[in-house]
Structure 1
Amino acid sequence: MSWTYATLLALLAVLLALSWSPEAESAAVPSSTGSAKDPQGPLKKIFMKEADASNFFSKRSRRGAKSQDENNAEQRLILAADKRKRDFHEEKRNEFESFAEEENDEQDERSRESTEQWRKFHYDGMYPPQE
């Protein structure tokens, strides 16, 4: 039991140390052109302020209605996927029907052959053989 308490205490200490470290405030890639706090050039386009970053996803979640072109494109994709599914299942059904028909024909042929052999074997000469 003491091991679990010791492990829990160690994990809690690491968590507190990480949360109080200055690196936990923001993540940035160190650059050789300037400090990470004040990026210049192309880095300025990549990184944004903390306030803007916190609002980014909330703004993105309130997306406006889709345009008619977007709806049409999405519907075309759905219809194309449905057509591919229908074609696939139709092809599988045709393959199965062909297989079942061949199996049925083979079974009928075996049955006919065995019936014919039985008739030849049991022919008593009184009636003409059926062919």
Structure 2
Amino acid sequence: ECNQLVSVSHDRQAYVWSFVEGQWLESLVELRAGKAATGVRWAPDGTKFVVSTSAREAIVCFWSHDNACWVSRKIVSPKATVMDACWHPCGHVVLVGGIDRRCFVAAAHISGFDEQAGEFAGKSLEGVKVGE
């Protein structure tokens, strides 16, 4: 059980809400997005999430134990506003869809964070667009 929610909005910020001892505690996530966030989805294992933006970006966020904060990494920049993103069950690949009716498959494996890359083991795919 993860007991966390994530919210995004037009102010280009995200918050992760954790339910601890009967109350919700918030953690700010600095997305570094140029425009409004349009959607957010947790990865299947609940350790990271992807944010879609109107700045034509998909951003993966994860908790950095070393820095004790949420870290964001841009993974793909299509040519139109990103309306939604959907995780592959393995948690290493994201399907990103834009308002131009195009979809991209992007690698979302974070080096040094994700333990197993499965079929992507040994490959540097961080932020690489796998297909269109």
Question: TM-score normalised to the size of structure 1?
Answer: 0.19
Larger RCO: 1 or 2 (CA < 8 Å, sep 6+): 2
Specify which structure has the higher proportion of helix: 1
Question: TM-score normalised to the size of structure 2?
Answer: 0.19
Specify which structure has the higher proportion of strand: 2
